[in-house]
């Protein structure tokens, strides 16, 4: 199956490439830190542990292995809600990974209310890709402006958009 072949979403799961990219984007931090939105985060961009407890700045450091466990548990929970949010939709593996990564980064509630989700349900895949570029704000800062100290959020969106469009060309 090519990365452009669309299949029922229920048959897809986060790929190895998804996790490699996630670690590349998020990096690894053993100690809690505040992300660009000011949210306490640990490991590989995790804002909560497997039990749902939010990360606190006073939490103890985690090993890289533990960070991977936390992020895999987070993604696993995200995937269940993500699949349910797109009834009857067919996606390519690339699209699945792109939108799941968006959900990991921006949260399920933002995904559920997004035009991307609505457009995918309507079968408008290219328009859904373009809608990724609307998500360039964090904590009321426009991340497409390099000096706003959230440039990585924007470059990640641009890369998601590029991958998505490539899967729909």
User: Is residue 1 included in any domain, yes or no?
Assistant: no
* Domain containing residue 24: 10-166
Helices marked H in 53-150: 64-84, 93-106, 108-112, 115-121, 125-131
Q: Looking at residues 82-106, what average pLDDT do you find?
A: 96
Residue 4 lies in a domain: no
Asked whether 47 and 35 are in contact (CB, 8 A), the reply is: yes
**Residue 160 pLDDT > 80:** yes
100 sits in which H/E element:
helix 93-106
pLDDT for 36 equals 84
Q: Is the pLDDT of residue 2 over 90?
A: no
Q: Specify the higher pLDDT residue, 105 or 59.
A: 59
Q: Of all residues in the chain, what percent carry a pLDDT higher than 70? A: 98
Looking at the predicted structure, is the pLDDT value of residue 1 above 60?
no
Enter the pTM of the model.
0.90
Cβ-contact 119, 91 below 8 angstroms: no
Asked whether residue 115 is assigned to any structural domain, the reply reads yes
Neighbouring C-alpha atoms within 13 Å toward the C-beta of 95: 29
Instruction: Residue 116: give its domain's CATH number.
Output: 1.10.530.40
Q: Give the pLDDT of residue 22.
A: 92
**Residue 155 within any structural domain of the chain:** yes
153 in a structural domain: yes
pLDDT attached to residue 157: 97
Q: Binning pLDDT at 50, 70 and 90, where does residue 18 land?
A: very high
The span from the first CA to the last CA of the chain, in angstroms, equals 16
The tens digit of pLDDT for each residue in 51-79 reads 999 999 999 999 999 999 999 999 999 99
Q: Name the domain count of the chain.
A: 1
What is the Cα–Cα distance from 94 to 5, expressed in whole angstroms? 9
Contact present, 78 and 107 (Cβ < 8 Å):
no
Domain annotation covers residue 100: yes
Residue 142: its H or E element = strand 141-142
Tokens of 158: 């641009």
Q: Is residue 2 part of a domain?
A: no
């Amino acid at each position: 199956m090519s990365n452009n072949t669309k299949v029922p979403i229920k048959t897809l799961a986060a790929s190895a490439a998804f996790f490699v990219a996630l670690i590349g984007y998020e990096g690894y931090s053993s100690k809690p830190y505040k992300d660009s939105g000011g949210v306490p985060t640990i490991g590989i961009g995790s804002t909560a542990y497997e039990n749902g407890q939010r990360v606190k700045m006073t939490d103890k450091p985690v090993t890289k292995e533990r960070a991977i466990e936390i992020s895999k548990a987070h993604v696993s929970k995200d995937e269940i809600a993500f699949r349910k949010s797109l009834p009857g939709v067919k996606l390519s593996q690339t699209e699945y990974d792109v939108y799941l990564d968006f959900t990991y980064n921006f949260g399920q509630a933002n995904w559920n209310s997004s035009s991307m989700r609505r457009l995918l349900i309507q079968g408008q895949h290219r328009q859904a890709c373009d809608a990724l570029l609307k998500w360039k704000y964090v904590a009321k800062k426009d991340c497409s402006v390099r000096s706003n100290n959230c440039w990585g959020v924007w470059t990640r969106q641009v890369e998601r958009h590029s991958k998505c469009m490539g899967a729909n060309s």
